[in-house]
Structure 1
Amino acid sequence: MNEKEQVTKCALVTGGSRGIGKAICIQLAKDSDYHILINYQSNKQAALDTLEAVKEAGGTGEILQFNVVNNEEVKSTLDNWLEHNKNAIIEVIVNNAGITKDGLFMWMTQDDWNNVINTSLNGFFNVTNHLIQKLLVQKYGRIINMVSLSGLKGTAGQTNYSAAKGAVIGATKALAQEIAKRNITVNAVAPGFIKTDMTGDLDEKELKKMVPANRFGNPEEVAHLVSFLASKKSSYITGEVININGGLYS
């Protein structure tokens, strides 16, 4: 067996332990041969549950603990992992980690602003910037940024989250143009109302009336789209923001 055949190709999913992130990890395990790197910040048990589900789906994976906001932690954890896995390459990065701290802007604290911006926007920078050199050398890669309907149209009570996701959308379009010649695509996926912990407090019965499809989406439906964008089948799609929202645009 030559050296090329021994390479372990990996997909890193930040915030991969729950919700949409978990669904993405499981779908990638079903659809690809990628070794799934499940990033989590604090909920180790949830990450282990996701790993178990990945294995049940026929895939392989492991959990990686780091806070995407902490640049030094991101670097040291990923460098340490790469040092111990010299035959591994990360081909797919799914920037999924994100938080909400909703509230009217006039009452918003600086912490609530900074924490949301740091997780979505700086988290994207910290992880992607650290790994981008290797993707460029490999001349292949898939970067998928999880954004939101809020980042496209803005949502009242979510000025911080709308700002964070809107910024990631801009970054997606710019970075896609920089690295397209290296066979690396950069796309964003913008879910609308999806049934997860994050939307658990919302009045689904009332809000689904706004959605032409008349229902909330499931994490698995988002995961199918991400899995397609992570595959070779999507090689001519880059710099795009793909909505998955049941027809809800305004």
Structure 2
Amino acid sequence: MLGRLRWAVVDGATITRRDLAHWARQPWQIVIALLFPVLTVLMFGYLLGGGMTVPGGGDYREFLLPGMFALTMVFGLETTFAAVATDAARGVTDRFRSMPMAPSAVVVGRGAADLLNSLVGLALMIGCGLAVGWSWHQGPARAAAAIGLLLLLRFALLWVGIFLGLLARGPEALVAVQILVWPLGFLSNTFAAPETMPGWLGAIAEWNPLSSTVAATRELFGNPGWGGESWVSQHALLMAVLWPTLLLVVFCPLSVRRYRRLSA
């Protein structure tokens, strides 16, 4: 049992190095992926921020940045999907399946590589936030906890992207994933209070997993945020852990099972 686990870890690390080397040979993909959230921060923070009022007072950019951090984690799902679907379409995944390696190595290796990529992107976003006047106010320990919640959300969404990529087996389905991801990202408390929305729409926004992570990170960073009287709003920290855990429990085994069932 320990021997199989050891080889699974070794095989997964090999796939991770392969994916990182692929990005090193095509750095423009990383540059574009990292520049988009930075430009979004500048657009919302400076072009639209002047007309926004934060309930209870506070700087809008300090309110905005935790939401943008979480939104970046959500948009990373598209990157994962595209990479997995492209490998499947080109036959790379089938070649991996023909090799004597652990069945979980390909999906685990992809997940590890994408999480490292997200960590770099999050560090860039934090640097961008500091440059535009954002900061945390609750000490380094709570800030580290907020970053941990953001990475937990990204790790959970990795498995959603891996599963969808294996299911589609073609990068042309990326548009369909974007139709799913963008409403998930914007129908949340990232830019507007759910209380300002129609009742049914506000309820959807409050129960959006992204909203829980955004609210929890705002609290941990000590940044201004929307209030809320619903149960899910009052327990944002708890839900910021439960939502990603639920996604992991569902999509992690589904991804491994789907990989095993791919036609050779």
TM-score, length-normalised on structure 2?
Answer: 0.32
TM-score, length-normalised on structure 1?
Answer: 0.33
Of structures 1 and 2, the larger Rg is shown by: 2
| Higher strand proportion | 1
| Higher helix proportion | 2
